Amino acid sequence: MVSTTSLGQFLTDGSGRTLYVFEADTGDASTCSGACARAWPPVVASSHPSVSGSVKQSLVGTVKRTDGTTQVTYNGHPLYYYVGDTKSGDTKGEGLTAFGAGWYVVSPAGTKIEKPGS
């Protein structure tokens, strides 16, 4: 799904929870585990995820994490939630630097969105 705020359009899950990308990830491999994954839980799937709205199915994929779970990717980027987002559409993790790199909401095109002036 896609939500729209002052940041523009960005990806959400079926419940409206904002999805993030982590700049430290390389290719389609997640580098976020342990304390990082507790603060930024990976978006996991038991089967191939489906999409709706202006989200492109061709950009959706999955990657195996080191713990054996299957993480959802978009345009090759592993996706995460942020524990600080408490309600649908929150973007409190946008532009934060944590665990060595920046965290950003992701556009329907599969690119990170930065706050104006960042």
Neighbours of 113 (CB within 10 A): 22
Task: Give pLDDT, residue 1.
Answer: 55
Residue type, 115: K
- CA–CA distance, 116 with 31 (Å, rounded to integer): 27
- What is the token pair recorded at 22? 């982590």
Task: Give pLDDT, residue 56.
Answer: 86
Reported pTM: 0.90
Q: Which mean pLDDT values do the consecutive 10-residue runs of the chain (118 residues) have? A: 68 92 90 97 86 82 92 95 95 96 94 76
Task: Give pLDDT, residue 2.
Answer: 59
In 3D, which of 9, 36, 38 has the Cα closest to residue 23? 36
Task: Give pLDDT, residue 37.
Answer: 97
